Structure 1
Amino acid sequence: MKYYSQSHCKWAMFLIVLSLPRVDSANQFSPAGRRIRRQINACQDGNYTVNGKTCCLCAAGQLLTKECEVNPEDRDCEFCEPGRTYNNKPNSETFCEQCTSCTQPNGSDVCLSSSPSCPVWRIAQPRFHSLGKSELGDGGFPHLLSNLEVKEECTTAKDTACRCKQGYFCLSEPCISCNPCNKCEELGVKNSCTGTKDTVCKERSEVPAAILPVAIIFGIVLAAAVGFAFAFAAWKMKWCCFKTSNVGFEGTDGKYVESSSLALLEDAYLDKDGNFSKLIPDIASLVGWGDMRNIAMADGFKKTILDNIQQNNPKQAEEQTISLLTEWEEKHGREAARMLMKALLKNNKNSKAQALQGIIRSDRSNKPASATP
């Protein structure tokens, strides 16, 4: 039998060690490896730049409460209030949008006060027809959602989804106001009413001959009523052949703001208002911080002014809006209301422009008549 010396064994062990795979000092288990992995996975919802620093966006359903300081991901976020506010995409906003209510009343019951007793739905989210016109109620106020019920509840990351109640329909979604379904009392139902389609009545040929004359008369009366209602609505909203000449200025989306909307700027109340500061709380509740901030930036306000307002009123969107409207009045003086109206129209916020007109008119109408000598 052949024996090996101790020196031979040492050389054999040395060769075995050299043949083992090397372990990189920055592998996935080392601190350096973990830092690399965190950097790769940081900002999964995207990022934004502020004051020369890149910070991670807050996720959908959250709002920003503190900017990042050292690392992009060390900013602070909080969730929106469930069932009341939401943000539907990653963002760096310091506020959440109000949830839409499907059950709020119509017309003159709109709450425009800044009082704490004012319900959540005091300012409705703008909703527009397919023709691009906002639906209006009595007195120039926004016509709020009617004949609707909740389809999907509001979450912190998604607004409420509404649908028509049983027995009502609208032709396109999202619905702002649902119409009663036709009952086809004389002709009979061929296809039932759905949430997005009216009842289809039977053809006259399918109706017994005995009731055909009655059905014809009823149809004529109904058609006349519908035609009158449509003509009145078209005149009221200045649609179709009743539309005024296409005179206006270009909005932010490239579409013209026509003279039907520009007529708001000729309102005599805007020429005489002089009480803009008194109405600032109501106007702040109407316009909201997001729209008012965009309007101010487009008007040339410096970013430092907007940043100071946010820092002085943290997490208080309405107080921030009130402060910015005060700055707006200082800049535009007695033209503050007119300039705000023009900015709302130019940004296609027709519904809010109509509501602003209503606030100013309401203030004028509530003033006592001056005493005659």
Structure 2
Amino acid sequence: MGKVRDSDGVAWGLLPLLLVTVLIMETQCKNYTEALKTYNRRIISRREVNCNEDEYKLDTQCCKKCKSGFVKNVTCPTDIIKHCVPCEKGKEFMNHPNDLDKCLRCKLCDSKFGFEVVKNCTPEEDTKCACAKNYFCGPPGCDSCIQCTICESGVIEKQCTAASDTLCGTKEPETLWWVIALPVLVVLLAVVVGAIFWRKRKQKGLTISEHQVYKPEPYETIPLIDPDADLSSYVPGIVAEMTLAEVKKFVRHHHVSEPTIDQSIQDCPGDTSEQKIRLFRVWYQSHGMKGAYGTLISSLRELKMCAIADKIEEKLRAAIASSQAGERSYNPDTEQSKTCTQEGRNSYSGSGGLSKACTGTLEET
């Protein structure tokens, strides 16, 4: 019985020691686990930093970059032969190693704006454009091509190049003298011929008597165009003098947006005339009728479309004058004036007959 009690006492005495041992082991296990986690993080971090130059990191994985002319067809390529697809020849390109899934679109060299293709687009390189003949680069960075200036004097000091406009000069004094003298000589010759013709008529007795002088009707000068004239009914005639490229250039000059221009073109596929009319009406509606005529002509001259401006101005003046003449034809006062004019002409014819009769009598005498 005493031995049993001694054994129980020893067991109870070892119990605290056993608890301390368990706590120490638990603490060591926790430290080991934390150290293992830290070690794994270091390994992962080391793997992220050590991706090669031809690779890129995606989360904790190194993926292969596709070569120039190719893009990936999976999220993380591991084989550039299987996981990279080529760009479409003549339409797309990719000019550097990449991790993209879409190629870039090839540039379009629009001949309507003075560009021409220097080098065609390849899967590895974009199209190279340059200004065509008789065009030069506009600042900044050759974003647009401008038509070379035509020297009105005919004297060119420096020809137009791809980077600079034509440099015009002035005519030499001798040439200028001939330009002034030639019209004077023509006028003098006309006066001499007129004098000879008049002398021959006088010798034949065909000169007009004072009572036979015919007074022509007053010449009706073509009125100037009202700067606020309504151009809406003349739009087809205006754009008929311009190409589609020139109409685009005009509306861009007045800040019509590219989406609006594209929409007007797409609304009438293949119909250039209707495309020009729609583009011009977009500008006219945004500008308004007030001052539109003056803005149209001055803008065309600023854009070096002087010949087109002259044709449109002449066409509008003729059209408006014709319209005004049509309105006057219904005016009763105008009809009465025409009747009076006809009567005056008949009176003049009668006087002419009487005069001829008198002349015949004098000759017989």
Give the TM-score range, shorter chain.
0.3 to 0.5
Whose radius of gyration is greater, 1 or 2? Answer: 2
Which TM-score applies when normalising by structure 2? 0.35
How high is the TM-score relative to the length of structure 1? 0.34
Q: Which has the larger helix fraction? A: 2
